[in-house]
Structure 1
Amino acid sequence: MLPFAFVALCLALAITREWLISRRRYKNIPGPFLSRYTSIPLAFHSRGGKRHLYVHSLHQKYGPLVLIAPRHISCSHPDAINVVYAQGEHALPKSDFYKAFVVDGTPNLFNTQDRTEHTKRRKALAHPLSYKSVKEMEEWIAGNMLKLIKNLDRKCESKTGPTSQLTSRTTTTTRTNGVPLGAETPGRASGSEEKEVEGDCPVNMHAWFNCFTFDVISDLAFGQSLGMLDRGTDVLPDSSSSSSRGNPYGQENRTGVAAMIGLRGRAAAFLGLFPPLVGFGKTGMCIRWMLLHFWPDPLIRKGLSSSDMLSDIATKCVRKRMASTNDDNETIRDDLLHRLLTELRKSEKPDQFIDDIKEPEPLNERVVVTEAMLLLTAGSDTTADSAAAILWYILAQPAVHQRLIEELDENVGVLAHDLAAADELPKHDQVKSLPYLTATIQEALRMFATNAFGLPRVVSDFSKPVTLMGTSIPPGTELSVPAYTIQRDRDVWGEDAYEFKPERWLSEDEASEVLKGKDEVKKADPKYLLTFGAGPRMCIGKNLATMQLHLLIATILLRYKLELYDPHKDLEAVEGFMNKPVEVLVKIARR
């Protein structure tokens, strides 16, 4: 009884403290009553995978400035982008929310809060992920693209979905990004669900896009493909996926890598709202152990376990690669990992590159692993999610689909019936500047924000004074700009902001040719598209992601006749840290 009373007293004191602070600092900021004193309402919707929709509804009700949690203001006014994600001396640091994404106490480029460390890490990754560097690795992307095409060709020949999805009763077991049907329901974040399908089995393009992007990134970031396209699944062999720290749910769960990333993101997005639950050192390890084994919500426990397993996968791959690079008889492979190692050595030990030293000092393994893990989780998962959403929007609009086919046929040409080599596939130089393809991709990324809720920053004691819409923001306040809401703002995009119209991204001459007398659309402004973030913490993998999206969408449309399996069904999504399509089922045949 005494421990319960003590906990109740501590909770009461914490709520009273937040009430006093909120009453004094944020009395002029509207928002839900409970959100002034606790993060529980925001956490509830985050746990349910719909945080961005909840925040959007608050802005619809209260206006552009809303207090969505104690000391956390969301601002949906377009001018807030340049304030919250400012450059230079006005740049705001990342909040404690990002501590939940740190693995084993070693921050990476994404989650580090230290500006000096971020500058050093970004400099190390800038060259390997520059367009010139990424372009030199196009052959590895093409090699995996050929594997994807061979798999999809077999589906066309058999008129079925993936072999692993068939039963003797033409029942499909649909694995969608590791997220099953009904994943929008809180707690349904892993596993599979069977459903009856009459006639031909649909192909889940999202699942295949996952296999493709994971193999591409693992090929570049680990020096070896994870072999998902070879196996037709994102579930790794037991020897690769087992965690040395143990899996509380057992290997029979057979969780795919995409599911691990989704679970990790959902758990971190939830725990990040309660920084005291996230710590490092001995205390942090103790808290984490308690959460992993005793937290009542299985989603959080699975998310923490998945994070451990992903870290172990990255560690094994990096160790194997670094061991091979130390072998004098091994030819060094000039891929992304090699370039990353070179740049990290320069940033860690710059003097050794001034002198003519043949054997540089070894790098901190955890630094390499955490950056490689970032490439795996952020560089593959989000690209597959975006590609799946883009394809859905294209197929949901037959006129857009047809115009894309015409543009691709005219500029690239029909692909050979029997593709024998990767160099027979479309090249990025052929598709990167196609106006309607680029416009369609941009518009789909606007409609489906993979990073849908606002990424938080904090006004620190050392920050320059911050003012939003005439309101002075006190130090200690978290600020965020919700991408989903900004990308549907009618003042920015026009009255048709909720409609999918690629024409808004075309030049005036190109748009008039496409519209041909139809209602004009307001020209899009790229600075309000937050797909890759904004400011100094903007996604550094934009070049690699953009190249894959252009190549993937162009190749798939050139190669296949595609239709949505259920054209009357909307695109369902579930949000963890990133917003993910649940599935994209299509009927597929060769052109």
Structure 2
Amino acid sequence: MTPILVLLLLTLALLYFLSPLLSPSPIPGPLYARVTSLILKYHEFTATRTAYIHSLHLRYGPVVRIAPNEVAFASATAAKEIYCSNGSGYDKTEWYDLFKVYDRRTMFTTLGKSEHAKRKRLLADRYANSNIMKGGIMEGIKERARTFAGLCEKGGKEGVDLYETKVLHAYAFDCVTLHLFHPHSTNSLTDPKDSEIMLEVTFDSSLQNRLLSHYSPLLHRLLNTFLSNILSLKPRETPLADSFVLDTAAQPNASPFTLLHRLHSQSSLPQIDIAAESLDHMAAGIDTTGDALCFLIWELSQPSSLSYQKHLQQELRSAPPDTPVEKLPYLDAVVMEGLRMFPAIPMSLPRYCPPGGGSIIDNYQIPPNTIVSCQPYSVQRLGPEKGGVFPEPDRFWPGRWLKAEGETQAEFEERERGMKRGFMAFGMGGRGCIGKHLALAEMKCLLREVYGRFGTVPDGRMGRGEMEMADLLVSSRPRGQRCLVRFEKLDA
């Protein structure tokens, strides 16, 4: 054995035994995770981090060490501790610097709780459900949903590629810009110029480039030309979106229900911060809602979901046209189950364990400054036998969100509370997704238009594995980057 190899083995052994996470009780996980984060980084760079961590949870349980100083959790109790304790949980890590806009911190990229709370107080009013349900926003969303359904009718039995054409993302883009900027919102479903802006924001293949810039800025600078020109791993560039947002955010006459009106009338933020916050919300509202709808429609189109699709069609077609979407219980159950199986943000949401004496999470003593996280995908996909909340977690079953036959109302409410404790499709706590009410309204309006008029079936040209999830930075997309679905018009 060479001296270099001996030295390497001794170094690894020393790292193993000196690791703070070994005391007082070792964290479950693969041995290599105690000495290196390279395996985790490999899965990050190959867009398989979510699936990799989930496989570790399936093997080791709801607590698993994934790197020398990082632990992943997948229980409702851990999620509550990390994201809700002491006024919205632990502080964010520098990983969120990847999302700074114009080099400014937005609400999403603030690291400390106090900074976040200050910005959220300014913005939360515009995202309250009472504001979302007002006529201006809801009527605009419904109009866009009708436009989307009209495009599906044109595609018909020939099939529509819901992902490659980005038609769902265009819908989400038009809805979020309505909320942000009306009357300066977009119409990318029908206007090619607006569609170019949407495609620039949502076709983001900069994962590897951005990760390298985060982990090793020096190496990123040295390899930038090679990454861009040889490997085609280019940094994210959004000149059209930047121009649109910078120009629009300066407009003084936005509608009272918009975020822009709120920022202009109630804040002293510099104009560049208003533009940065607006662009951050715009980008966040496209991929998340578009991808979640894509995966949900695909799941509803499967032969195994035919009975659920028919039940949904029956509810939608029998309800009076003026029935509010929040008064359609089966539609709500379908959306909740879709978000449970395919959360808009499935990936880890990293936090620092607070300084001081450390924390106890799921009966493990975690040292200060350890990176801890839950990934919504695993919290919502582990069964009770693995410490999770949802029985048959890989089964798409909207009925789990409804009162079962023979179940008392009290029993259902208790079961529902348990499910909601383990539901984090929009994050959890005070730093959860501020736009969840807008996203739910968009999803429900679109599904109402589609399944009130059509049945959907998968296109036979889709290959096996194409709809498996591939990671972006926080959201996901179909690995095959297409989703072919056929729309069959229902009888009048």
**TM-score in same-fold range (> 0.5):** yes
Q: Which moved more, 1:213-222 or 1:366-375?
A: 213-222
- In structure 2, the residue matched to 1:411 is 319
Counterparts of residues 292-441 of structure 1 (less than 5 Å): 292-295=224-227, 301-302=233-234, 304=235, 306=236, 308-309=237-238, 312-325=239-252, 332-342=254-264, 345-346=266-267, 348=268, 363-396=269-302, 397-412=305-320, 429-441=323-335
The alpha carbon displacement at 1:549 in A equals: 0.7
The alpha carbon displacement at 1:444 in A equals: 1.6
Q: CA–CA distance in 2 between the matches of 1:575 and 1:233? A: 28
The alpha carbon displacement at 1:30 in A equals: 3.1
The alpha carbon displacement at 1:507 in A equals: 1.7
| 5+ residue gaps, structure 1 | 1-8, 163-173, 178-203, 242-254, 278-285, 326-330, 349-362, 414-426, 513-521
- In structure 2, the residue matched to 1:55 is 53
Q: CA–CA distance in 2 between the matches of 1:395 and 1:575? A: 23
Q: CA–CA distance in 1 between the matches of 2:262 and 2:230? A: 36
Q: Give SS of 1:507's match.
A: coil
Counterparts of residues 163-202 of structure 1 (less than 5 Å): 176=163
1:589 and 2:482 equivalent? no
Q: 1:34 aligns with which of 9, 32, 35?
A: 32
1:23 and 2:21 equivalent? no
Q: CA–CA distance in 1 between the matches of 2:406 and 2:439? A: 26
Q: CA–CA distance in 1 between the matches of 2:229 and 2:32? A: 22
Contact 1:411 1:430 in 2 (8 A): no
Give the aligned residue type for 2:419: D
Going from structure 1 to structure 2, the CA distance change for 1:264 and 1:130 (only over 3 Å counts) comes to: farther
- In structure 2, the residue matched to 1:519 is none
- In structure 2, the residue matched to 1:139 is 139
Q: CA–CA distance in 2 between the matches of 1:578 and 1:211? A: 16
Contact 1:235 1:257 in 2 (8 A): no
Q: Give SS of 1:563's match.
A: strand
- In structure 1, the residue matched to 2:362 is 469
Q: CA–CA distance in 2 between the matches of 1:69 and 1:90? A: 25
C-alpha distance after superposition, 1:372-413 (max 9, x if no partner)? 112111112111111112212222210001111111111145
The alpha carbon displacement at 1:268 in A equals: 4.2
Contact 1:562 1:589 in 2 (8 A): yes
C-alpha distance after superposition, 1:232-291 (max 9, x if no partner)? 69851xxx69xxxxxxxxxxxxx643213xx2456546655x2x53xxxxxxxx876545
Q: Give SS of 2:300's match.
A: helix
Contact 1:83 1:466 in 2 (8 A): no
Contact 2:50 2:377 in 1 (8 A): yes
Contact 1:503 1:511 in 2 (8 A): no
The alpha carbon displacement at 1:451 in A equals: 2.0
- In structure 2, the residue matched to 1:259 is 203
Give the aligned residue type for 1:474: P
The alpha carbon displacement at 1:296 in A equals: 7.8
- In structure 2, the residue matched to 1:45 is 43
- In structure 1, the residue matched to 2:336 is 442
Going from structure 1 to structure 2, the CA distance change for 1:435 and 1:89 (only over 3 Å counts) comes to: closer
- In structure 1, the residue matched to 2:100 is 102
Contact 1:452 1:579 in 2 (8 A): yes
Q: 2:115 aligns with which of 114, 117, 124?
A: 117
The alpha carbon displacement at 1:494 in A equals: 5.1
The alpha carbon displacement at 1:552 in A equals: 0.7
Greater C-alpha radius of gyration: 1
The alpha carbon displacement at 1:583 in A equals: 3.1
> Identity over the aligned pairs, expressed in percent?
25
- In structure 1, the residue matched to 2:433 is 539
Going from structure 1 to structure 2, the CA distance change for 1:320 and 1:375 (only over 3 Å counts) comes to: same
- In structure 2, the residue matched to 1:504 is 400
Going from structure 1 to structure 2, the CA distance change for 1:66 and 1:531 (only over 3 Å counts) comes to: same
Contact 1:465 1:473 in 2 (8 A): yes
Give the aligned residue type for 2:403: S
Counterparts of residues 528-567 of structure 1 (less than 5 Å): 528-566=422-460
- In structure 1, the residue matched to 2:63 is 65
Going from structure 1 to structure 2, the CA distance change for 1:337 and 1:510 (only over 3 Å counts) comes to: farther
- In structure 2, the residue matched to 1:578 is 475
Q: 2:377 aligns with which of 461, 467, 484?
A: 484
Give the aligned residue type for 1:209: L
Q: Give SS of 1:467's match.
A: strand
Going from structure 1 to structure 2, the CA distance change for 1:232 and 1:584 (only over 3 Å counts) comes to: farther
C-alpha distance after superposition, 1:474-514 (max 9, x if no partner)? 112000123222212221445422211111110235989xx
| 5+ residue gaps, structure 2 | 409-414
Going from structure 1 to structure 2, the CA distance change for 1:314 and 1:232 (only over 3 Å counts) comes to: closer
The alpha carbon displacement at 1:19 in A equals: 5.8
- In structure 2, the residue matched to 1:169 is none
The alpha carbon displacement at 1:544 in A equals: 0.2
Give the aligned residue type for 1:220: H
Q: Give SS of 1:366's match.
A: helix
Q: CA–CA distance in 2 between the matches of 1:85 and 1:77? A: 12
Contact 2:79 2:428 in 1 (8 A): yes
- In structure 2, the residue matched to 1:210 is 169
Give the aligned residue type for 1:537: R
Q: CA–CA distance in 1 between the matches of 2:407 and 2:47? A: 36
Count of aligned pairs between the two proteins: 462
Contact 1:573 1:580 in 2 (8 A): yes
Q: CA–CA distance in 1 between the matches of 2:78 and 2:110? A: 23
Q: Which moved more, 1:220-229 or 1:542-551?
A: 220-229
Give the aligned residue type for 2:115: E
Q: CA–CA distance in 1 between the matches of 2:221 and 2:178? A: 33
Q: Give SS of 2:155's match.
A: helix
Contact 2:162 2:484 in 1 (8 A): no
Q: CA–CA distance in 2 between the matches of 1:86 and 1:18? A: 37
Q: CA–CA distance in 2 between the matches of 1:210 and 1:511? A: 39
Give the aligned residue type for 1:338: L
Q: 1:221 aligns with which of 174, 180, 186?
A: 180
Q: CA–CA distance in 2 between the matches of 1:317 and 1:271? A: 26
Q: CA–CA distance in 2 between the matches of 1:19 and 1:365? A: 52
Q: Which moved more, 1:579-588 or 1:109-118?
A: 579-588
Q: What TM-score comes out, normalization by structure 1 length?
A: 0.70
Q: Give SS of 1:548's match.
A: helix
Q: CA–CA distance in 1 between the matches of 2:285 and 2:49? A: 23
Contact 1:458 1:479 in 2 (8 A): yes
Contact 1:222 1:337 in 2 (8 A): yes
Q: Give SS of 1:212's match.
A: helix
Q: CA–CA distance in 2 between the matches of 1:586 and 1:16? A: 54
Q: CA–CA distance in 2 between the matches of 1:433 and 1:370? A: 36
Contact 1:454 1:480 in 2 (8 A): yes
Q: CA–CA distance in 2 between the matches of 1:502 and 1:40? A: 39
- In structure 2, the residue matched to 1:128 is 126
Q: CA–CA distance in 1 between the matches of 2:329 and 2:116? A: 35
